[in-house]
Amino acid sequence: MKEYQKLEFDKKRFRIKHCPCGKSNKDGKFIPYKGLDNCGYCHSCGKTFLPELQKNDNMKFEAQPKQVSCISPDLVEKSLKASNNFLIFLNSLFGTDATESLKERYKIGSSKHWNGATVFGRLTISGK
Ligand SMILES: [Zn+2]
């Protein structure tokens, strides 16, 4: 089973007489991929011509489930209690209530990474 096709430029660029854009390849500006006649890169028109994917190529596109690591809820709470440069900036523009609301809504936390560092938390579907 062929899982993927590696695209490599063919050194024999002059084997192709015309770029897929229609221009002559006398000047060798179109470089085809190995084993393909109408796919490659054209220095004249600046386009890359890629092969169409066939549905029955048995190509693998299934994403591997990623292992998700989550920060402990205690640490998230601590992070949300502190302030940071971004929250100070928001507060100067919108006041305390709006800033608090934004902080809760977007889980804008603080970190000791540097003085005033901001953390933009991301939630999993289950709220972790
Ligand atoms: Zn071209």
pTM above 0.75, yes or no: no
| Neighbour count for residue 11 (Cβ, 10 Å) | 9
**14 CA from centroid of ligand 1 (Å):** 14
3-class DSSP assignment, residue 118: strand
Q: Which residues surround ligand 1, an ion (CB under 5 A)?
A: 19, 21, 23, 42, 44-45
Distance 49 CA to ligand 1 centre (A): 9
The pLDDT of residue 7 is 86
pLDDT confidence of residue 52: 81
CA proximity to 11, closest of 32, 41, 27: 32
pLDDT digits (tens, 9 = 90+) for 40-69: 999 999 999 998 876 555 555 555 666 778
DSSP classification of residue 37: S
Distance 7 CA to ligand 1 centre (A): 18
| pLDDT tens digits, one per residue of 1-49 | 455 668 899 999 999 999 999 999 999 999 999 999 999 999 999 999 9
Query: CB neighbours of 90 closer than 8 A, spacing ≥ 6?
Result: 98, 99, 102
Rounded CA separation 27/42 (Å): 11
